A and B are shown apart, each in its own frame.
Chain A
Amino acid sequence: MTVAAAPRVSATPRANRKSRRDNRFAAWAFLLPALAYVVVFFGYPLAANLVMSTQNYTVKSFYTGEAPFVGIENYSAVLSNPLFSTAALNTALFTVGSIVFQFGIGLALAVFFNGRFLGSALLRSLLLLPWLLPLVVSGAVWRWMFDQDHGVLNAGLRFLGFDAVPWLSSTSWALSAVIITNIWIGIPFNLVILHGGLRAIPASLYEAAALDGAGAWQRFRHVTWPLLRPVTGIVLMLGLVYTIKVFDVIMVVTGGGPAGSTQTLTTWSYRLSFQDFAFGQGAAVGNVLIVVATVFGLLYLRSAKATLAEAA
């Protein structure tokens, strides 16, 4: 028996080892396409951008491939440029302003549409419109509405007895104008995801809360808000990453002007690269932006981990 058992015992690990090796191979095989994708489409551009930011990359370099190494010169040039603080501040104001209102309005609408009433589904799908329109189109329409003399916004203000606002032609108003445009564009995204999150909350919890005598605000505060937290985290995180790199909205509505008052790090990076032809400096600004986005990404991962631990 022992003799007979011995081969069986030794056979099992061998088979196991083989199947484990197969498994590991299969796992890698499944991972490979994703890995190749990440390397080619994220790793390579990222590395190329890092290299470019340390070079004196000019128009000529595109053709000859020659770009002398200059170390951190591009970074010091960019950071000491007075435009840097303006662009960084604008980026922060634009991001925070956009996200706070996109999220707030999106959440209010999501709660509103969570109640069943006639036409709710139709209205909700209509609200998706800003999301479906090409950004260039919505940007151009907003630009037109913001027009100081003939825009519909100022016509409305005048009708209500207010003074016309120089939305796009004043350095103190233009940033608000692009933020308003971006809020409008961002609301549907927040609405859709938050609405999905709301639908996942069991109705029985609300019934129980109602039985306990909780009012609408208390139901929101003690049932909706805590149970929506994981979704909230995702919406805010994605919103942050989307907003911090917004380029087209600003380019279409103000082009970074007037007098640089709506220049953010992304539009400035574009300008350095394609208007000033200082590609190395443009790459440096892009990298600064990547670092900022990565910091927020890591913060999110940490908080997500904490939430998961809490849930467990």
Chain B
Amino acid sequence: MSVARRALVLTASAALLTACSPSPAPSASNGAGAPAATSITELDYYADEQGSAAWQKILDTCATQTGIKIERQKVPTAQMLPKVLQGASSKTLPNLLFTDNPTLQQVAATGALTPLTDYGITTDGYYPGIAKAGTYQDKLYGVAPGVNGLALIYNKDLLQAAGVEPPKTWDELKTAAAKLTKDGKYGLSFSAISSEEGTWQFLPFFWSNGAELSQLDSPQATQALQYVTDLVNSGSASKSVVTWSQNDVADQFVSGNTAMMINGSWNIARLDEQKSLHYGVVPIPVPQAGGKPVVALGGEVGAVPVTGGPAQQAAGKVLTCILSEPTMLEWSKAHAYIPSKSAVAQKFGTEQPAMQAFVDEVGTARSRTAELGEKYPKVSQALADALQAALTGKTPADQALKAAQQASGS
């Protein structure tokens, strides 16, 4: 730990002590009267090379614009929450935090975050879904500069060779996937891994069919799970989907082992690197023609933990810069995200046709935590378990969901 960082931690914890003492209200000590710090620490999980480089550029831009030095720390995704909790218990939280939007509820529930309205940040002009995802108990704690969602990405050459149109409905998807499954290639690939990633990939089927997270074993939910299970059982999708992360799915697609995949916009740059790969993007097929796909809203939200007035003010300034429209656009382009302000997103979609399907879907996307708040992780885990149980043939879909409802309710 450098001397500067140690000093920062010391002042931060000293400030925290005073903030905890009853006499001055926290909002008062957060007020504009305190001079802003000249350097802050920031924590994120953009650990992959491409995402990390793009994020570093954004931070550099905002460091120059605000004149605040940003000391960046990055951890692998899985270590984000343990690291934050560790920081919370030892009072060494970073001044600025970027975390996956469903985990925001957990962190906000600890009381370790400050409301963003303290720094003049509001959600005017943002997609309602992302505003909801950043709100805990009616207070705004996190806002994302860019969001993402899932769509159906297909290999144009393979579809053309098989005479298949990009599917729009579940029936069409089933037929297309079956037709495209041949010569050791699978028609469709997706991730059904036993974690949040698996739930996130299943939710578009679950929600588009009208199921709700509060009732995991509803007929609509069972129908959705049965549909996905049939895709695997019929051989149109590999049985290995239960072990594939979204990166593995993208690998399968890039190497031509699968004709269609369900994946996120952040993979677009990687697909563009393969000059011989011609791909197209359409919204995720819906149960009935004319319906709207409902995907889950993804992306990381920026939050300002309680670390003492001056540091918080500085972090608020940097966050405001990251959320400004030019930076938002720059980040969205560099990392293939969708700007989280609807007007910016519309402009972005017309400039980047490959992203238009994602832009369309973000409009109807739902926040995973809006309904359940901090109870979401438990329900999500139960749903991922049900998905795995059904796909491996361990338990029939309806029973798997009944067990999930029981597990999430207890």
Chain A residues near B (Cβ < 8 Å): 58-60, 62-65, 143, 147-150, 166, 168-171, 254-261, 271, 274-277
Contacts A63-B88, A258-B194 known; A274 to B111 CB distance under 8 Å?
no
B112 touches A63 (CB 8 A): yes
Contacts A149-B257, A169-B392, A171-B394 known; A259 to B110 CB distance under 8 Å?
no
**Nearest B residue (CB) for A150:** B257
Q: Tell me what chain A mostly uses at the interface: helix, strand, loop, or mixed.
A: loop
Chain B residues near A (Cβ < 8 Å): 81-82, 85-86, 88-89, 106-107, 109-112, 184, 193-196, 238-243, 257, 374, 377-378, 381, 385, 388-389, 391-392, 394-395
CA gap between A169 and B193 in the complex, in Å: 10
Which one of B82, B86, B112, B194 contacts A257 once the chains associate, using CB atoms below 8 Å?
B194
B243 touches A259 (CB 8 A): no
| With A64-B110, A259-B395 already in contact, 15 other A-B pairs whose C-beta atoms are closer than 8 Å | A59-B109, A59-B374, A62-B85, A62-B110, A63-B112, A65-B89, A147-B240, A166-B240, A169-B240, A169-B241, A255-B195, A258-B242, A259-B394, A275-B381, A276-B381
Number of A-B contacts (CB under 8 A): 92
A257 touches B238 (CB 8 A): no
B388 touches A258 (CB 8 A): yes
For the complex formed, measure the closest distance between the CB of A197 and the CB atoms of chain B, giving whole angstroms: 39
CA gap between A171 and B239 in the complex, in Å: 11
B377 touches A168 (CB 8 A): no
Q: List 14 A-B contacts (CB under 8 A).
A: A59-B107, A62-B86, A63-B88, A63-B110, A63-B112, A149-B184, A150-B257, A169-B241, A258-B194, A260-B385, A274-B81, A275-B377, A275-B381, A276-B378
CA gap between A147 and B112 in the complex, in Å: 42
A255 touches B394 (CB 8 A): no
Contacts A63-B112, A257-B194, A259-B392 known; A168 to B240 CB distance under 8 Å?
yes
Nearest 10 A/B pairs, CB to CB? A257-B194, A63-B110, A259-B388, A258-B242, A63-B88, A169-B239, A62-B89, A62-B85, A168-B243, A62-B88
A149 touches B238 (CB 8 A): yes
* A150: chain B residues within 8 A (beta carbon): 257
Contacts A169-B240, A169-B243 known; A257 to B88 CB distance under 8 Å?
no
Contacts A63-B111, A64-B110, A255-B193 known; A149 to B89 CB distance under 8 Å?
no
For the complex formed, measure the closest distance between the CB of B403 and the CB atoms of chain A, giving whole angstroms: 9
